[in-house]
Amino acid sequence: MAFAQDSRGAPPPQILLMEDEQRLAKGLEMVLRETGYEVTIAPDGRNALKRFDERPFDLLLADLRLPDIDGMEVIRRVKRSHPDTAVVVITGYATVPSAVEAMKTGAYDYLSKPFTDDEIKTVIRGALQPPPSPSAAEKSKPVAAKKPGPPTVRDPGPVERDRTSRILLVEDEAQTAQGLRMVLTEAGYEVESAATGQTALDTVKREGFDILIADLRLPDIDGMEMIRRVKENRPETEVIVITGYATVDSAIEAMKLGIFDYLPKPFTEDEVKSVVAGAVAARQSAIIRSLLEGVDEAEGKLIQKREVVRVLERASQDEHFWHELMDNGSHALASYALSSEAKAAVVSGDLNWIHKHVGELTDHQLRWIQSRLEMERW
């Protein structure tokens, strides 16, 4: 069968369809091929991973319930080894936790079965769109000249970790707001409250916060609209949604807006403290990345080298961090001054990249890499 090519003669996008229901897989294959895509079917997780070992794909269309490996684990492995591959989840067992987990793992979208041909085609078309290029205004911004001289390696992380993170809690239920404020203040954060969406918007505009914790049902403005405005005006603010009316659709919508996490009520103190700690780490990582943009190439390489060694040393000594790195991948490295490429190399155990960019390592430092490679072989 001949596949459609674009006007420039480029080959059709390559899609790997991971689906164990044969009738659905064949039906989807027919629809997508007629649209101009090249489709390969993998009936289980191991087959899908083997296909990715053989060649790259532009998009993984992934079911979550498979006969061998959990579909979410397959997605995690694919995103570690092929971070540029777009992922769309399709599932007949949609839940809020799995939707949030899939979006945090890097999925572009999460579709509940059954869906229409038009729905799947629209989502895949969006997933395969290239990211927007910088605007003309951004390209024309002058770059400050850096004074010549030997590189001075700086460590911005601890400076930010020493500063008390500021949280704005947007919650109209007074008892819930009071309890959360007490828990987070005792955990060491500086917390302010707002009972309405407009008050929250005015406060964020005036002061700015590291973290926004927001209910979705507010007495004046829809919580999702408030979050949208905050992310437009203060994109650096990490947002955590808390809601007593959790749905798969609202979870996906919120994750697409760029929130850090989505917590259905009721939740425990430990749960909210854990999520807030993760959001603070992500905020620190963003600050580190912005600081790294201002250093020259030689200094940047020295920082990367030092940070990779720090991670490997910690992984060899701290069992809790080892498991966190294994379970959460690059999310466990949020507080380290690492590029996306460096994070992918550490998480996947890419020894060639590490030797090239870091140099020779001691046996002690190599423990994480060796254990990671053993897991992949298993």
Question: DSSP readout, 252-294?
Answer: HHHHHTT-SEEEESS--HHHHHHHHHHHHHHHHHHHHHHHHTT
* 35 pLDDT higher than 90: yes
Peptide bond just before 266 cis, omega within 30 deg? yes
Domain annotation covers residue 152: no
At 306, the pLDDT band (50, 70, 90 cuts) reads confident
Asked whether 3 and 12 are in contact (CB, 8 A), the reply is: yes
pLDDT by residue (tens digit) across 80-97? 899 999 999 999 999 999
Task: Compare 345 and 286 and report the one with higher pLDDT.
Answer: 345
- Give the CA angle between residues 316, 318, 324 to the nearest 5°: 100
Query: What is the arithmetic mean of pLDDT over 356-366?
Result: 81
The pTM for the full model equals: 0.73
Pair (318, 370) in one structural domain: yes
Same domain, residue pair 280 and 304: no
Q: What is the pLDDT of residue 50?
A: 97
Sign of the alpha-carbon torsion through 320, 324, 330, 335:
negative
What single DSSP character describes residue 150? -
β-sheet bridge partners, residue 286: none
- Residue 292 resides in a domain: no
Q: Is 3 a member of any domain? A: no
How many angstroms separate the CA atoms of 169 and 279, rounded?
Answer: 14
Q: Give the structural domain span for 280.
A: 159-286
> How many domains, the chain?
3
Angle between helices 319-328 and 367-377 (to 10 degrees): 40
Confidence of residue 282 (pLDDT cuts 50, 70, 90): confident
In a domain, 174, yes or no: yes
**Are 118 and 166 part of one and the same domain?**
no
Helix (H) or strand (E) holding 173: none
Residues 6+ apart with CB under 8 A from 115: 90
pLDDT tens digit sequence for 130-178:
876 544 444 444 443 443 444 443 444 444 444 589 999 999 999 999 9
Query: What would the two tokens of residue 191 be?
Result: 């917390």
Is the same domain home to 121 and 193?
A: no
Q: How far apart are CA 187 and CA 209, in angstroms?
A: 17
